[in-house]
Amino acid sequence: MSRFYLTLPSNSSMQYYPENTVARYTTKLDKWEVGLVEISVPAVIANVVRDECFLDIVIVGNHMGKLVLPPTNVRRLHRLFDLIHDEQRKQLSYGLMGRTQQERNANIPVHFYLDGDNVSMKLRNDVYGQVSVMFSKSLADMLGFDDRINYLRI
């Protein structure tokens, strides 16, 4: 049995696996048995992955939309909260309540914050009536919520 080192870059099997990304990829090796000796990764990898981190917001029975987060690297929960809040302002701007832009910016339907070591969210029923939210699996895992639950406050 011979031993040798082989570098497996993320783009080496794009003809077989066109969905490969730097953060998640498969490489075709045919009939080789391999073991991982070393791995090197870029300094920054997107952990908010394209089309995998989103939330669905429903206000008083009206689906406001699937709020898709842009791909990026988030190191701290506060940055993830800011990203979600900003995307609500951008993607739901037509439906935000308030007389001034400042009021509309403050009245996002779903607000996230840290309560001690726990992630909490406030559904703005005081402004919109009944608000509910569901998370994609990836975003639910990052926030510590369950993607199978429709969160609402009555």
Element (H, E) at 105: helix 101-106
Task: Give the CA dihedral 49, 52, 58, 64, nearest 10 degrees.
Answer: 70
pLDDT digits (tens, 9 = 90+) for 88-137: 988 887 777 777 878 877 888 899 999 888 899 999 888 888 899 999 99
- What's the pTM? 0.67
> Measured on CA atoms in the order 148, 150, 153, 154, is the torsion positive or negative?
negative
